[in-house]
Amino acid sequence: MKSPLVIAVAAAIAALGASQALAQAWPTAKPISIVVSYPAGGDTDAIGRAYAEKLAQRLGQQVIIDNRPGASGTIGNAHVAKAAPDGYTLLFTPSTFPIAQHVLKVSPQVAHDVNRDFTPIIKTGNIPLLAVTAPTTGMKDMRQVIAEAKSRPLTYGSPGTGSPMHIAGEMLNKGAGIKINHVPYKGVAPVVTDSLGGHVTIGWITPGAVGQHVSSGKLVPLAVAERQRTKLMPNVPTLIELGYKDLDISAWMGLLGPRGLPADIVRSLNAHMNEVLRMPDVMARMATLGIEPTGGDPAALARQIADDDSRFGRLVKEFGITAE
């Protein structure tokens, strides 16, 4: 009769062998599905499709985008959290990923823990947050905006309640001791439209969304909420330069899998994506969308998620931000 120890060791060896076999066979069983928790046609979808195309070429396997929009991304996120960790269901997400559950009243059906229920693979890009205004407002820099805000009502638009742009606007309010009123929109496009029309004093947006309008003079760039100036608009000052030392906030995008994704698959995907991010055509495409490619190891994305979950959880509570 075999001892319990022998049985346990044999079971562990068998499990390890099965895991290694799965990793070695991947990705041959079926197409890889990358879930995008937002509608088709948006920036996240477009970028995800660009990466999927390059991954398919490198892996020799079909890679498809599976759009599962709703509830600020939590529906698609939950789908991946519950998926089998076999490398055939992944998640491409923007930085609303660690923020949404602090803002929304999430139902038990889509509840998930961003630190526990996923396997980070790679942070693909950093997206600076940019404040712009129309020339018709008569304001030429952020110092003038702040001075005006102390004497009359002003507004700022963001792509939605709880978005990084919304939080940046509230951080500026706190840091400058002002109250510029928030106007939430449903997405990026209407923020751009109303900023161009001067319907909001400031539009908090990303460089890719307004680059052509800044170049043509239809919008005036005021400041970026970064620690350092962005290479995408090197002449635009940071809010830290203007004296607001804590105003370092940006958006990002990353690729994750379900919890328990085998290490060999994580390493393979990370290596391939690091190569994809260095491709000249990908870098050019990202620049037009206002994205600075990052790359790196999975631990960098894990740290980003953990830091944002903690920081934004605190800020959402401090500013009283809730879904409308």
Q: Say yes or no: 86 and 150 in one domain.
A: no
Q: Say yes or no: 9 and 115 in one domain.
A: yes
Rounded CA-CA distance 45/148 in Å is 38
25 found inside a domain: yes
Q: What pTM did the predictor assign?
A: 0.86
| CATH, residue 149 | 3.40.190.10
Q: Say yes or no: 106 and 141 in one domain.
A: no
Q: Which of 267, 269, 259 is nearest to 56 (CA)?
A: 269
Per-residue pLDDT tens digits for 26-57: 998 799 999 999 888 888 998 999 999 999 99
Q: List helix spans (H) across 243-324.
A: 263-277, 280-288, 298-319
Q: Say yes or no: 61 and 208 in one domain.
A: no
Q: Count of domains in the chain?
A: 2
Q: What is the CA radius of gyration of the chain?
A: 22
Quote the domain boundaries for residue 208: 132-224
Per-residue pLDDT tens digits for 109-122: 778 999 999 999 99
Q: Say yes or no: 290 and 147 in one domain.
A: no
Q: Say yes or no: 156 and 190 in one domain.
A: yes
Q: Say yes or no: 121 and 150 in one domain.
A: no
The pLDDT-based confidence of 324 (bands split at 50, 70, 90) is low
260 found inside a domain: yes
CB atoms closer than 10 angstroms to residue 284: 9
Q: 140-146, long-range: CB within 8 Å, 24+ apart, which pairs?
A: 140/220, 141/222, 141/223, 141/237, 142/222, 142/223, 142/237, 142/239, 142/242, 143/242, 145/180, 145/201, 145/202, 145/222, 146/176, 146/178
237 found inside a domain: no
